[in-house]
Structure 1
Amino acid sequence: MSDLSDTQRSPSCGVNDKGYEWEPSTGSCYKYHPIIKSWRRARDICLHEGGQLAIINSVTESLVLKNIYLKNQIYRPPHMDPNHAFIGFRKSNDGNWVTVNGQSLAEAGFDRWAPGEPNNYNGAEECGSIRVGLLNDWPCSKHPLPCICEITP
């Protein structure tokens, strides 16, 4: 997609914000935010843009998000594996993993975790990230990450 001025709207994504790209295989638009932030701040940014943190609904979508991350590796914090980005799920009060829409991961259509995950490392990983196309638990604010936002027109 070409650069849009602030006043142009993407016919596929329906937003004024630059950076959203239509993905026909999933029917959604995605934007990668390379500047690291907490999970809550990432969620708020996506909401402000008219979207949400990306929710993986299929194996196809997990590959789409993996490729978005790989092609946008502008900034890699030195403390982290280079394949992490916040996406739209977290641990609920009852200890189950749910999407930002309140669905279980299985109900959303994708519950494949990276090997050894979720591991709740140091007892502090309650937010969701993607790692090489698979789900991963991650600290909500101690180690900020880039994020991927999604808009489903």
Structure 2
Amino acid sequence: MKYSLTYALFIVCTTSSEAVKFRCDYKFVGSRWYKYHETPLPWQYARMMCLHEGGVLASPLFAHIKSEMKSLMRSTDIFTGIQNYYTVEGAPLSIIRHVWAPMQPNSKNDTEQCLSMNVNGELSHVKCEEPRPYLCYRMDSEADVNDCGTLDPD
């Protein structure tokens, strides 16, 4: 599969911070860890990559998360952790303060089930199969990472 190479490429590193530890390729802001993935993946693969790294596909659940997502973006839009109007954490879109991009919402005959966010923080329906950059995040916690930089103990 053409995306399997992406799974094989991981940064091997250690962190020197004694207070909070996770992965050195994640940025710690406030009480959360963030990582921007510039290599585009389909939504399902992006979600799996975040889980593999010990995080989740980021959703603009709160203003401070949305702000950090916008500051880390390097492209016109990224996948969010929202599919079929629910976040990967199970929160419905209806409880998230959001603004639709121009001409949205428009799921084009139910073919666009995922949501992306642009640099202005606006949401759009997009096809889940169309690769896009994405952002992973994790709540503050101590995590033991192995030499490969993952949470897998083996």
- Equivalence for 1:106: 94
Q: Return the alpha-carbon distance in structure 1 between the equivalents of residues 65 and 20 of structure 2.
A: 16
Identical positions, percent: 32
Q: Return the alpha-carbon distance in structure 2 between the equivalents of residues 117 and 12 of structure 1.
A: 43
Q: Return the alpha-carbon distance in structure 2 between the equivalents of residues 52 and 28 of structure 1.
A: 11
State the number of aligned residues: 129
Q: CA deviation at 1:7?
A: 3.4
Q: Return the alpha-carbon distance in structure 2 between the equivalents of residues 30 and 112 of structure 1.
A: 22
Q: CA deviation at 1:19?
A: 2.0
- Equivalence for 1:120: 107
Q: CA deviation at 1:51?
A: 0.3
- Tell me if structure 2 keeps the 8 A contact 1:13–1:21: no
Structure 1 vs Structure 2 CA RMSD? 2.2
Q: Return the alpha-carbon distance in structure 2 between the equivalents of residues 124 and 15 of structure 1.
A: 37
* Partner secondary structure for residue 35 of structure 1: strand
How high is the TM-score relative to the length of structure 2? 0.73
**What stretches of structure 1 of length at least 5 have no aligned partner?**
74-81, 92-96
**What stretches of structure 2 of length at least 5 have no aligned partner?**
1-10, 141-154
- Equivalence for 1:131: 118
**TM alignment of 1:1-153, pairs within 5 A:** 6-8=13-15, 14-16=21-23, 18-24=24-30, 27-69=31-73, 73=74, 82-91=75-84, 97-107=85-95, 109-121=96-108, 123-132=110-119, 133-141=121-129, 143-153=130-140
How high is the TM-score relative to the length of structure 1? 0.73
Q: CA deviation at 1:148?
A: 0.4
Q: Return the alpha-carbon distance in structure 1 between the equivalents of residues 94 and 16 of structure 2.
A: 34
Larger Rg: 2
- Per-residue CA deviation, residues 106-132 of structure 1 (Å, 9 max, x unaligned), is 33x333322322211364210121112
